[in-house]
Amino acid sequence: MRSTIVFLLISIICFRAQSQDVMKLEDVIQLIMENNFDIEIAKNNIEVAKNNNNIGLVGGSQSTGGTVSGGNTGMLPQISVSAGSPSSPLGIGQTVSTLKYSDPALNVSGQTLTNTSYAPSLIGTWYFFDGLKMFATKKKLNRNEELSNIQYRVVVETTLLTALTAYYQMISIEQYIKSLKTSLSLGEDQKKLADQKFKTGYGSKVDVLQTQIDYNNIQSQIIQQQSLLNDQRIGLNNLLKRSVEVEFGVPDTITVDTQPNFEEALEKTNMSNNSILASKKTIEIDKLALKEFKGNRYPKIGVTGNYTYQRVTNDIGLQRLNENYGYNVGLLFSWTILNNLTTNTAIKNQLVQIRSDNIRLEAAQSQERANLYKAYLSFKNNLDIVELEKQSVQLANENLDIAAKRFAQGVSTYIEYRMVQQSYEDSQFRLSQAAFNAKLSELNYLKAQGLLVY
């Protein structure tokens, strides 16, 4: 009764798997690009870099740094309106005055005096030359935006590799479950045969019990593999930002679409590997920052203009009204000749930073070449293993067919048959793992070349 219940459970699981929608490879890629949390954050980083890359944030003061801060000069003029200050506010004021003179008749006691003051102004300033620093800053913003796109591709690569690993692991497990179900069907036949032999006096109770034990063991393996399959499905659903309860199936085969070629792959790695591209882009950014620092050595030339209106009234005094308005235009010129060698120090440090960046680029190229070579060898070897395991499965199938006939004819014992059946199950498991390992090494091989994300 227990074995019947387990068999029904496995049958229900298999029926559910067959009735589920099959998720294709393109479905995984589309969902991961649309829904994954890390990829969404990376997209936002691109948007921030794009927002920062505008001429309104270019330029600045005669600072020693090369940072973009949206200072008061740059490619666009700065226009402001002012009216009043803490020391001279805009509005109405009252003053209570008490005055005493030598002639008491002239004394003033507690007189309230009212005055008004209006002084709005419109000011425009534009520095059209700052040692070409603004142009270097604009180019640096362009490179920062390009770097954010490379960093986005790195996030997509890492996330996609994780998702595809789970996806192909599910296919591998499904392949193994399929082979175990074949063993289960054969085990059912062997149980019946052992029972018939025992009842007719040609077999032993040992074979009857052993066939049931092995049959239960295969059932247990199927349930264990189904549990592993569920783990991978839940993990993949989480990466795709879907409910973990969503059921779906996968294709029944793993296909490898690439052939290993190290020389061609190495050339593509040098051109397209994202870690290498990011290192190169960082060097470009730091060289532009060096130009910003050097721009601080030169004078700044600009134009300025303002229009001011001022009106002041007083209740007493010789001047009851003071009204002025008009405009001013002119050139601006400033040149920091000596700033405690701060600019020179910044330039020297930036040159050291560029040297360090070149070392990092060399290290990245060396590391990615090593990653490529390891992926290439692993890919090549795993393809060979797949071919060997295919041969082993073919031989195991043939051997199992012969062993089944020998046991049915009474030429061999069940123990001998079970050893052959176990060899068949092992070969099926090795083939499913070899196919998964070959696909995983192919993905790493493509990732090293920067071809995993187009």
Per-residue pLDDT tens for 400-414? 999 988 888 888 888
Banded model confidence at residue 70, pLDDT cuts 50, 70, 90: very low
Which region, left, alpha or beta, applies to residue 131 given φ > 0 means left and ψ of -120 to 50 means alpha? left
pLDDT at res. 6:
41
Band the pLDDT of 13: cuts 50, 70, 90: very low
Alpha-carbon distance values, 112 to 92, 99, 109, 118 (Å): 13, 12, 9, 20
Q: Which residue has the higher pLDDT, 117 or 74?
A: 117
Reported confidence tier of residue 62, pLDDT bands at 50, 70, 90: very low
| Residue 18 pLDDT > 80 | no
Q: What's the chain's average pLDDT?
A: 85
**Residue 299 pLDDT exceeds 70:** yes
Q: Do strands 300-314 and 321-334 pair parallel, antiparallel, or not at all (unpaired)? A: antiparallel
Classify residue 241 as exposed, middle or buried by CB count within 10 Å of its CB (0-12, 13-18, 19+). Answer: middle
CA dihedral 42, 48, 51, 52 (to 10 degrees): -120
> Whole-model pTM?
0.80
- pLDDT value at 166 more than 70: yes
Structural domains present in the chain: 2-59+130-299+335-449 (1.20.1600.10), 85-128+301-334 (no CATH)
Taking residues 258-274, what's their average pLDDT? 94
pLDDT confidence band for 270 (50 / 70 / 90): very high
Percentage of the chain beyond pLDDT 70 is: 85
| Higher per-residue confidence, 179 vs 100 | 179
**Which of 109 and 184 is assigned the larger pLDDT?**
184
pLDDT higher than 90, residue 337: no
Label residue 357 left, alpha or beta by phi (over 0 means left) and psi (-120 to 50 means alpha): alpha
Give the pLDDT band of residue 90 (cuts 50, 70, 90).
low
Alpha-carbon span 59 to 233, nearest angstrom: 52
Give the tens place of pLDDT for each residue, 30-55. 999 999 999 999 999 999 998 888 87
**Statement: residue 188 has pLDDT above 70:** yes
pLDDT over 90 (residue 340): no
pLDDT tens digits, 372-403: 999 999 999 999 999 999 999 999 999 999 99
Per-residue pLDDT band for 9 (boundaries 50, 70, 90) equals very low
Q: Which long-range CB contacts under 8 A does 415-419 form with residues at least 24 apart?
A: 415/210, 417/190, 418/210, 418/214
Which pLDDT does position 350 carry in this prediction? 95
Q: What is the pLDDT of residues 206-263, one digit of tens each?
A: 888 988 999 999 999 999 999 999 999 999 999 999 999 999 999 989 999 899 999 9
Q: Residue 338: what pLDDT?
A: 84
Residue of 64 and 94 predicted with greater confidence: 94
DSSP string, 303-320: EEEEEEEEEEEESSSS-S
Position 119 pLDDT exceeds 90: no
Q: What average pLDDT does the segment 440-449 reach?
A: 96
Q: Which of 32, 31, 13, 382 is nearest to 174 (CA)?
A: 13
Residue position matching structure tokens 């505008």? 54
CA gap 6, 212 in Å, rounded: 13
Q: What residue type is assigned to position 13 of the chain?
A: I
Residue 399: per-residue pLDDT: 93
Q: What percent of the chain has pLDDT over 90?
A: 53
- Computed on alpha carbons and rounded to an integer, the radius of gyration of the chain in Å comes to 40
Within 10 angstroms of residue 48's Cβ, the number of other Cβ atoms is: 12
Spatial contact of 124 and 305, defined as CB atoms under 8 Å apart: yes
